[in-house]
Amino acid sequence: MNIFNGLEEIVETDYPLAKRTWYGLGGAADYFIAPKTVRQLKEVVRRCTNNNIRIYVMGFGSNLLISDEGLRGAVIKLEAEQFSQIEFDGEEVTAWAGAELSKLVLTCVEKGLSGIEALTGIPGSVGGAVKMNAGGNFGDFGSVVETVTLMDNDGNVFEKSKPELVFDYRRTNITAKFILSARLKLNESDSEQIMRTVKEIWIYKKNNQPLNTKNSGCIFRNPQGGSAGAIIDRAGLKGLRIGGAVVSEKHANFIIAEKGCTSHDVMSLIETIREKVKEQFDVELELEVEIWD
């Protein structure tokens, strides 16, 4: 019997995941599922749970490394129209999980709403940005998120709001499998002034990050009071290569995937960096990139 009988239009089998990640690496998933509605999502989750199929939730694949062997389970991606909506109500914005973060930033700038321009140049989906509290030197997403709508493994939809909803550096206390949407509280401001800020942040990133390469953003979280990139640089690891994976000469917290690179190359380079930094500075680097294997 087909587990997903009646849902064939949204389910693909033996799906090559490499084309869905910024790294362009990784094997195939048993199932790749793109529900069109919350109701369909609930049904997919119910069938996966009943058949002991492991669920992975994919955003834009910008902060993700998938093993060369692929995944035994179902990758669910909320990319349909319902999951990509952005709704405005004065200074409040409701952004669904599948909406593109960069599009959200620019739309808010055009409407004269300030508060998320710090996320300029960060790729990914709104759901992913909430889950990992995306941000950088200029601020983070959690500072403007008031409420999130979530769904658990049993298909129950519920809300979580501040102060129960807690954001920390690259972390939240959200344990539910699915983030459906987030309600943001922004501030009215002059759109030209916000755009100037956006341009300044973009220029800074262009000058300091290897933007036109295959990478997944920062590999490691910054240790308390320090910079992972600076520590890796001080360890003399810029340019270090394993197979097709190389530490960026521009920013040492980026690993670039060059021609012929495999996920195994990237994982091996990650471990080598951790070992050498621990050896030289007694610092345990924590991953920021998500690894699925």
Catalytic residues: 170, 218, 288
Residue 23 and residue 155: Cα distance in Å, rounded?
Answer: 31
CA angle 15, 16, 18 (to 5 degrees): 145
Residue 48 and residue 149: Cα distance in Å, rounded?
Answer: 21
Question: How many CB atoms neighbour CB 55 within 10 A?
Answer: 17
Residue 55 and residue 278: Cα distance in Å, rounded?
Answer: 34
Residue 243 and residue 246: Cα distance in Å, rounded?
Answer: 8
Helix (H, G, I), strand (E, B) or coil at 169: coil
151 - beta bridge partners?
A: 157, 178
Structural contact between residues 56 and 45, judged by C-beta atoms closer than 8 angstroms = no
Question: How many CB atoms neighbour CB 114 within 10 A?
Answer: 19
Q: How far is CA 231 from each of CA 192, 226, 278, rounded to the nearest angstrom?
A: 37, 8, 10
Residue 267 and residue 131: Cα distance in Å, rounded?
Answer: 23
Residue 266 and residue 247: Cα distance in Å, rounded?
Answer: 10
Question: How many CB atoms neighbour CB 23 within 10 A?
Answer: 23
Tokens of residue 13, six digits: 């089998």
Q: Are strands 178-185 and 11-16 parallel, antiparallel or unpaired?
A: unpaired
